[in-house]
Amino acid sequence: MSDTKKVMITVRKAPHGAIYVHEAIEVMFIVASYGMDLSVVFIDDAVFALKGGQDTRALGIKGFMASIGALVDFEVEKVYVDRQSMQDRNLTEVDLVFIGEDEDTEEQVKPKVLDSEAIRALMLEQDSIISL
Amino acid sequence: MKLTVLLLEGPYNHEASDSAWNLIQAAREAGHEIRGVFLYHDGVYNVNAKIDPPQDDRHIANRWSELGAQGVDVVVCIAAAKRRGMVDELLVPNTRISGLGQLAKMVIESDRLVVFGD
């Protein structure tokens, strides 16, 4: 079977108070390293994971912000955020963190904000969706 | 059809482990193949050999062990397991600890991935 399967990882949970987002990022790094056509979508409360300026040290929790900032460097390049989920939570594109550096332009990259309809279309293209 | 099952919840507290197991039974009866079962998040607890439920209830850990004995690859994620103290000696027979790469391989080699647990 082809090793260029289209795989999407959906992240749906709030970033703190549970380990879901942290372990979802670990899955992203591994799946990306297997050469699959990976896309990642942050939906619902998970959009908070992409908000800048977070620091979990006072919670005594390692957190995952360093990993978020290195997604592109580890070949997790197609990172999308649901526009409606952001609007529902008063987040705008300005609030989003950088997820790494574009290889060609060396510019800092942010996740791409997509309408639900575009995400739906992307989902239909996938061979597998890992819903985390 | 080849299926992979990703189980994200621990035993008993939620129905996810039961639902996953029921789906696998039904799928195999219908002639489908289970490429593998991958245990992630608290799902790693499902194969703890110390599980000892009341005798008149289902034995979740033994169920997964029996499935493994029938040739289905039941894999516990090592990163998730290490966080939760699920070491090799704690696993029921016919299950194994391995990396997230096994999940990636299962996804590549399956027609469908079915995820249980929130």
The whole-angstrom separation of Cα B42 and Cα A20 is 10
Interface contact B8-A7, CB threshold 8 A: no
Helix axes B60-69, B16-29, angle to 10 degrees: 30
Q: Calculate how close chain A gets to B114, using CA atoms only, in Å.
A: 8
Residue B89 has pLDDT above 90, yes or no: yes
The alpha helices in chain B, defined as continuous H runs, are: 16-29, 60-69, 78-83, 100-108
B96-108 pLDDT tens trace: 999 999 999 999 9
Q: Calculate how close chain A gets to B56, using CA atoms only, in Å.
A: 33
- Report all structural domains of chain A as residue ranges with CATH numbers, in order of start: 6-131 (3.40.1260.10)
Sheet holding B74-77, edge to edge: B95-98, B74-77, B33-39, B2-7, B112-116
Of the candidates A71, A53, A57, which has an alpha carbon nearest to the alpha carbon of residue A11? A71
Give pLDDT, residue A4: 86
- Report all structural domains of chain B as residue ranges with CATH numbers, in order of start: 2-116 (3.40.1260.10)
Q: Where are the beta strands (DSSP E) in A4-56?
A: 6-11, 37-42
A74 CB neighbours in chain B (<8 A) are none
B7-25 pLDDT tens trace: 999 999 999 999 999 999 9
B110 CB neighbours in chain A (<8 A) are 128
Per-residue pLDDT of chain A (132 residues; tens, 9 = 90+): 455 899 999 999 999 988 999 999 999 999 999 989 999 999 999 999 999 999 888 888 888 999 999 999 999 999 999 999 999 999 999 999 999 998 889 999 999 999 999 999 999 999 999 999
B103 CB neighbours in chain A (<8 A) are 27, 30-31, 130
Q: What is the mean pLDDT of chain B?
A: 97
* Amino acid at the residue A82: D
Give pLDDT, residue A26: 94
Residue B61 has pLDDT above 80, yes or no: yes
Sign of the four-CA dihedral A90, A101, A79, B6: negative
Q: Are B33 and B1 in contact (CB under 8 A)?
A: yes
Give pLDDT, residue A59: 87
Inter-chain CB pairs, A–B, below 8 Å: 51
Nearest to A128 among B80, B83, B107 (CB): B107
